[in-house]
């Protein structure tokens, strides 16, 4: 645990890493709390807002049964299981069960359409899928194209070609001896947006759990404290929900709240915070901007919030002042990515927050601004925001992509793909993406996958996708389309193109704007110059 201090230097300088050679996440996030039969791990609200409570003892029992079930069906250490679920209890149980057995989980968003799911299943070679009835048709539709998938479990009903999750584990042994995994063994694979081509599988080792903790303890204002309860609308398919809420909450034996809430509803968010006495929340700037529209929240809701982690987009001075004035809390903005999470952050009770800054290096982390040759730049100069290895929160590699793994580093510096500068006081400031990833409503979206989906439409000859500035979402997705010769452009074609993306990928990847053009800016080697398109949009 992080040692509490009154200054940043005191906290940062007193911390050092102690990563064991052998380590299994399941021991820390489940088993060590399960002998306390009354300790609540999860409060889950279903679609009817009915509350279901799971203790750590429950999670251990069901995770043990799931681990035994997978082994009985022929899966073993290193095999992959895709979890196509949202904030379902079975999602959390399945993760822990996989960790226990040395099996690799792969969280996948229910927002994705068939094409996105096919790619992820085949890339990681998933042998089993756990999903729900609402998303099972996607699996049924594509199963013949995913030869590695041998078993499918549905958590909330019966379906042809799938086993019911609860029926399958019901007869399994409730005890299980966790596999003795190395801290560098693979725990899970998260897919991250690629700037070109398809997404990359970020291979996350068991040690990543330990790598997260000092950062989150710092940003959550020296978490854990008495009666800490965590919640975020962020799905557990994303790093924010899984690694910044669920797993760290359970690491410290705290209660995590999850819901079946579809989309984001401000009144529901306030109700959840109030009803479940949430003390720590992860809320993106877009969510906070929507919550700001509710007048006098403390007159209507009894909030116990003491810290909010935010990131993915700029928080800004107005949101910081609103939260301080209306909610009596400080928003601690943080910075990281799937491959190297929460490496910069704020703690407003330890040092003053500079509005617009993404904070300072978290304890145990060495960050710098570097140039293309890996030379550390002085304060004030723009360059790559980078993190020095070794660091236990870093990915092992990109799955099946050794070249992309090599390109992620300049010497011993992991480059985040973002540019910025550090000021004289050691605060870091974000300038922009060094690549073409789009940031929209907290999602990081790769243009390559969207372009691929649009190119599958018969009317599209060539396409380029960028993010254009938006006051609420930070950026929205815009597609520039060169139609096939002879095609008549129309509003109907725009709708058809959007549907082409929606049916294959995820809702947040559907272009909000589509512009038909005669040509696209290209390099001499034939690559589309997305940066030039972005510059044109900014000038508009």
Which domains are delineated in the chain? Answer: 24-34+52-205 (3.40.50.12780), 438-539 (3.30.300.30)
- Taking the C-alpha atoms of residue 234 and residue 281, their distance in angstroms, rounded to an integer, is 10
Tell me the per-residue pLDDT of 211-221, one tens digit each, with 9 for 90 and over. 999 999 999 99
Spatial CB neighbours of 517, under 8 Å, sequence gap ≥ 6: 480, 481, 482
Mean pLDDT, residues 292-310? 93
Q: In sequence order, what are the beta bridge partners of 462?
A: 482
The lowest-confidence range among 20-24, 199-203, 356-360, 535-539 is 535-539
What are the E-state strand segments in 99-254?
A: 104-108, 128-131, 151-154, 163-164, 186-192, 200-205, 229-231
Element (H, E) at 286: helix 285-291
Q: How many helices (H) and strands (E) does the chain have?
A: 18, 27
Element (H, E) at 537: helix 530-539
End-to-end CA distance of the chain: 50
Answer with the residue of higher pLDDT: 373 or 504: 373
Confidence of residue 73 (pLDDT cuts 50, 70, 90): very high
- Taking the C-alpha atoms of residue 188 and residue 16, their distance in angstroms, rounded to an integer, is 25
Confidence of residue 441 (pLDDT cuts 50, 70, 90): confident
- Taking the C-alpha atoms of residue 75 and residue 127, their distance in angstroms, rounded to an integer, is 8
pLDDT value of residue 527: 63
pLDDT value of residue 82: 98
Mean pLDDT, residues 192-220? 90
Confidence of residue 452 (pLDDT cuts 50, 70, 90): confident
% of residues, the chain, pLDDT over 90: 77
- Taking the C-alpha atoms of residue 204 and residue 392, their distance in angstroms, rounded to an integer, is 10
Contact call for residues 285 and 442 (beta carbons, < 8 A): yes
- Whether the pLDDT of residue 526 is over 90: the answer is no
| Helix intervals (H) in 171-246 | 207-219, 239-241
- Whether the pLDDT of residue 85 is over 70: the answer is yes
- Residue closest to 205 by CA, chosen among 21, 1, 366: 21
Q: In sequence order, what are the beta bridge partners of 94?
A: none
Dihedral over alpha carbons 119, 122, 126, 129 (to 10 degrees): 50
| Helix intervals (H) in 19-144 | 25-29, 56-72, 89-101, 114-124, 136-142
- Whether the pLDDT of residue 370 is over 90: the answer is yes
Token pair belonging to 495:
């709708």
Spatial CB neighbours of 261, under 8 Å, sequence gap ≥ 6: 45, 233, 268, 272
- Taking the C-alpha atoms of residue 129 and residue 136, their distance in angstroms, rounded to an integer, is 10
How far is it between the farthest Cα atoms of the chain? 70
pLDDT value of residue 195: 52
Tell me the per-residue pLDDT of 241-291, one tens digit each, with 9 for 90 and over. 999 999 999 999 999 999 998 888 999 999 999 999 999 999 988 788 889
Token pair belonging to 216:
């989150």
Confidence of residue 523 (pLDDT cuts 50, 70, 90): low
Token pair belonging to 309:
């982690």
- Taking the C-alpha atoms of residue 523 and residue 229, their distance in angstroms, rounded to an integer, is 52
């Amino acid at each position: 645990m992080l040692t509490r201090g009154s200054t940043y230097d005191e906290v940062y300088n007193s911390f050092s890493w102690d990563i064991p050679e052998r380590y299994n996440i399941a021991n820390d996030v489940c088993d060590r709390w399960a002998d306390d039969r009354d300790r609540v791990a999860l409060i889950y609200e279903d679609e009817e807002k009915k509350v279901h409570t799971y203790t750590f003892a429950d999670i251990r029992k069901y995770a043990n049964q799931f681990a035994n079930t997978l082994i009985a069906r022929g899966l073993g250490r290193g095999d992959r299981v895709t979890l196509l679920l949202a904030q379902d209890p079975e999602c959390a149980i399945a993760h822990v069960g996989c960790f226990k057995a040395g099996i690799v989980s792969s969280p996948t968003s229910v927002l994705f359409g068939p094409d996105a799911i096919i790619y992820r299943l085949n890339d990681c070679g998933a042998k089993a899928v756990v999903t729900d009835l609402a998303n099972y048709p996607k699996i049924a539709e594509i199963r013949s194209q995913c030869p590695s998938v041998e078993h499918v479990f549905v958590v909330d009903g019966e379906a042809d070609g799938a086993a019911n999750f609860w029926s399958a584990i019901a007869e399994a042994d409730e005890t299980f001896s966790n596999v003795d995994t190395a801290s560098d063994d693979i725990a899970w694979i998260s897919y991250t947006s690629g700037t070109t081509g398809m997404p990359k599988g970020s291979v996350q080792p068991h040690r990543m759990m330990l790598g997260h903790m000092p950062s989150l303890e710092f940003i959550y204002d020296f978490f854990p404290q008495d009666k800490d309860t965590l919640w975020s609308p962020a799905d557990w398919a994303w790093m924010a929900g899984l690694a910044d809420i669920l797993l760290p909450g359970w690491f410290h034996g705290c209660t995590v709240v999850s819901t079946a809430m579809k989309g984001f509803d401000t009144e529901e968010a306030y109700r959840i915070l109030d009803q479940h006495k949430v003390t720590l929340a992860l809320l993106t700037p877009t969510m906070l901007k929507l919550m700001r529209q509710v007048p006098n929240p403390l007159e209507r809701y009894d909030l116990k919030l003491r810290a909010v982690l935010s990131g993915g987009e700029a928080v800004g001075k107005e949101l910081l002042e609103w939260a301080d004035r209306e909610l009596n809390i400080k928003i601690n903005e943080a910075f990281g990515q799937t491959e190297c999470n929460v490496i910069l952050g704020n703690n407003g009770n330890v040092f003053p927050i500079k509005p617009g800054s993404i904070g300072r290096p978290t304890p145990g982390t060495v960050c710098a601004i570097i140039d293309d040759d890996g030379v550390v730049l002085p304060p004030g100069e723009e360059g790559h925001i980078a993190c020095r290895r070794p660091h236990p929160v870093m990915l092992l590699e990109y799955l099946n992509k050794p070249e992309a793994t090599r390109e992620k580093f300049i010497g011993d510096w992991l480059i985040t793909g973002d540019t910025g500068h550090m000021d004289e006081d050691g605060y870091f400031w974000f300038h922009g993406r060094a690549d073409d990833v789009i940031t929209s409503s907290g999602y990081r979206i790769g243009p390559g996958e969207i372009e691929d989906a649009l190119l599958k439409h018969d009317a599209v000859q060539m396409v380029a996708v960028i993010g254009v500035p938006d006051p609420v979402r930070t950026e929205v997705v815009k597609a520039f389309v060169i139609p096939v010769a002879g095609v008549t452009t129309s509003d109907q074609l725009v709708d058809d193109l959007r549907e082409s993306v929606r049916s294959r990928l995820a809702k947040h990847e559907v272009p909000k704007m589509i512009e038909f053009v005669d040509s696209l800016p290209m390099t001499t080697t034939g690559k589309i110059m997305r940066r030039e398109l972005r510059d044109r949009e900014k000038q508009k």
